[in-house]
Amino acid sequence: MNNRVHLNRLNGTAENGRGWPENVGILGLEIYFPSQYVDQTELEKFDGASEGKYTVGLGQTRMGFCSDREDVNSLCLTVLDRLVQKTGTSYKDIGRLEVGTETLLDKSKSVKSVLMQVFEESGNSNVEGVDSTNACYGGTAALFNCVNWVESSSWDGRYAVAVCADIAIYASGNARPTGGAGAVAVLVGPDAPLVFERGLRASHVQHVYDFYKPEMTSEYPTVDGKLSIQCYLHALDKCYQLYCQKHAALFPDDQPISLNSFDALLFHSPFCKLVQKSLARLALNDYVNVPKDKRESKYPELASLPHFDDLSQTYFDRDIEKAMMDYSKITFEKKTKPSLHLATNVGNMYTPSLYGGLISYLCEEQDPAGKRIALFSYGSGLVSSFYSMKITGGPALAKLLDGLSDVKPRLLGRAKVAPSDFDATMKLREETHHLAPYQPAATIDHLFPDTWYLVEVDSRHRRHYKKYTSSDSNSNGHSQ
């Protein structure tokens, strides 16, 4: 960043005359996922589940998982380090760093503070921000904080970075195949190719115990599965309706918001089948947003839709759900399914889930320039938001997309692990979680090069990390 640009930004002299920079949004993206996965078809057999329960019923194909060599700190170190290297960003030019995670290792010390070790060589310790925690929503909170900072009077002209990472694991049983692990880092600043639509953000927050982690010595959550799905759909209804109202107030002369308003619709993905149901849910919202006397003419395909008085009566109405999924199938295939490539192959990453969907969409869409996308973020407990962004073209977009060109090759380069070995790894994590002192038992030869990993936990619970380099991989026989 040259000094003139830096000073202009410090002075807040935006061209629009209102003191904020133009086109604030995402300048760069990076994703990290584990180098190992378990096949969901094989896991069905190992668990004694019915054929297709995980693959068809949940829509999952493979699930990434971490050995005891990785934790949330190492995931964040890896993805931040890779983002900086790929984008050519200097650590000196980062003025805010936010972390979103629900995988807590310490009740006091933030993950963000652990990440400051990679800033030391640059001499930059003037970096605002800490951690945001609320189930899967923490990554969105971190991202919003970064965007808000760049648009605020506190902005000093430097970049902001949001990092979100989690290791999603469950006790053995029906919920285990909805796990996963991963991390996403987002570079935020002005003149971005992915621009947040200012003023078009709607949130719904509510107190509920649908999914929570009250036991600090365990990585496993307490889950009410049926309630969690109901809360997710209810939050989606509320956020979408509020977004529609905000848009109508800001742009009274425009057409009302509907699925037709967006080129892509992305969702937090606990499992892929729920995402398909969510897209159908928005189609149902569009249906009820039309006056009753006009519905039949506007939606002749839905003339046989069962009667209901309000949306809250339809959460588990299978007839309505099926009708809406059939009606919205083409829209889902075109506007949402491209965002699920990572979700079905890695699993639920919790806080990075939605942004893994954004990366998937950008990797699958041949020409994203000019597209308008909607995003829905959900975190149990609950906090949720629906917002939108527009994609511009030019060199900035080309650079962002080039940085994602290795995502698919990395997916193909992972190692498949037998369900029995996966199960043994989960038992190891369960037995050793929060032990101190602790020496990790897993080898490092399965790691991707340039992955940060846990070396040891000393007797005072202090965690020590190292970066797995190309020389390490060669000496350990890792195939690159």
Q: What is the set of active-site residues?
A: 102, 136, 268
Map residue 64 onto helix, strand or coil: strand
Please enumerate in sequence order all residues whose Cβ is within 8 A of that of 443, keeping only pairs 6 or more positions apart, or say none: 69, 476
Map residue 362 onto helix, strand or coil: helix
Strand ranges in 239-298 using DSSP code E only, listed in sequence order: 264-267
Q: Point out which residues pair with 201 in neighbouring strands.
A: 387
Contact of 244 with 256, CB cutoff 8 Å: yes
Residue type at 289? N
Residue type at 106? D
DSSP state of 172: S
> What count of Cα atoms within 13 Å lies in the side-chain half-sphere of residue 137?
23
Taking the C-alpha atoms of residue 274 and residue 278, their distance in angstroms, rounded to an integer, is 6
Query: What number of other Cβ atoms are within 10 A of residue 156's Cβ?
Result: 13
Map residue 330 onto helix, strand or coil: helix
| DSSP H or E stretch at residue 82 | helix 72-87
Task: Using alpha carbons, list the distances in angstroms from residue 325 to 116, 230, 320, 346.
Answer: 46, 17, 9, 24
| Locus of tokens 């493979």 | 62
Identify which of 310, 255, 252 has the alpha carbon closest to the alpha carbon of residue 284: 310
What values do phi and psi take at 269, rounded to 5?
A: -120, 90
Taking the C-alpha atoms of residue 225 and residue 210, their distance in angstroms, rounded to an integer, is 7
